[in-house]
């Protein structure tokens, strides 16, 4: 069985400040890890993914996440957020069944 | 040209009615899914189809019946709608590589009155 814990349901931050959204997972097999973003009234879009290789993965809009196997974490970071980053962020893990399990989401609220 | 499209986007109906949500993907993917997102944004897998065959059927009431006429379509039919069925339903698809990377539709918001 696999599970995902997103410790923070809401993260408020000021524009241009750094942010970290935390994600921890558990799985009995090797995993693939994902971050998805959901803007208001839209579907989920893939932000970045870890499949293999380098443990640090980046998105095209400045987010990055690091796979830490010993701590079973895949935290999402951005050094300087923008108002347009306001959205719901979901961490997901897939293992043996390849059906991903989602965390409960973290609402990132960027204030001007 | 939308990759995963769902219709309708909004659906408001009375308790006890039957309704359907349609989903189509033009990505050539073999696997399609239905997820339910509740009011607290929690996403739960309902069904998964691979090449028109059911491979996952989580603990969903049998009032919910998926239908896959071909691998590009996965429709969701709901009988005898209840208040608790109100949610946003997302269709998704994935490639045969099965890493778990999903491509989502924009969602269908169902409101049962």
- Interval A2-41: pLDDT, tens: 889 999 999 999 999 999 999 999 887 778 999 999 998 8
CB B110 within 8 A of CB A109: no
* Residue B1 pLDDT > 70: no
Q: How far is CA A36 from CA A12, A87, B9, B63, in A?
A: 18, 10, 21, 30
Contact B100 A44 (CB under 8 A): no
The closest CB to that of A99, out of B42, B56, B106, belongs to B56
Angstrom distance (rounded) from CA B74 to CA A111: 40
Which tokens in the block code for residue A84? 């347009």
Angstrom distance (rounded) from CA A101 to CA A37: 15
* Residue B101 pLDDT > 90: no
The closest CB to that of A104, out of B41, B92, B107, belongs to B41
Angstrom distance (rounded) from CA B68 to CA B80: 21
Query: What is the mean pLDDT of the segment spanning B39-66?
Result: 86
pLDDT at site A99: 80
Selected residue with higher pLDDT from B95 and A43: A43
Each residue's pLDDT tens digit, B84-94:
999 999 999 99
């Amino acid at each position: 069985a696999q599970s995902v814990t997103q410790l923070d349901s809401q993260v408020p931050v000021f524009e241009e400040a750094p942010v970290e959204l935390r994600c921890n997972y558990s799985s009995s097999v090797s995993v693939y890890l994902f971050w998805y973003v959901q803007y208001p009234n839209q579907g989920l879009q893939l932000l970045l993914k870890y499949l293999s290789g380098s443990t640090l993965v980046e998105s095209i809009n400045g987010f990055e996440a690091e796979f830490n196997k010993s701590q079973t974490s895949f935290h999402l970071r951005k050094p300087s957020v923008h108002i347009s980053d306001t959205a719901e962020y979901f961490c997901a893990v897939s293992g043996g069944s390849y059906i991903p399990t989602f965390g409960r989401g973290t609402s990132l609220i960027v204030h001007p | 040209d939308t990759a995963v499209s769902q219709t309708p986007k909004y659906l408001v109906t009375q308790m006890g009615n039957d309704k359907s949500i349609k989903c189509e993907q033009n990505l050539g993917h073999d696997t399609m899914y239905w997820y339910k997102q509740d009011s607290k944004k929690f996403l739960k897998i309902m069904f998964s189809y691979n090449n028109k065959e059911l491979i996952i059927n989580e603990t969903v009431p049998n009032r919910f019946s998926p239908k896959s006429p071909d691998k590009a379509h996965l429709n969701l039919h709901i009988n005898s709608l209840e208040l608790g069925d109100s949610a946003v339903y997302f269709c998704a698809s994935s490639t045969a590589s099965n890493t778990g990377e999903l491509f989502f539709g924009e969602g269908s918001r169902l409101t049962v009155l």
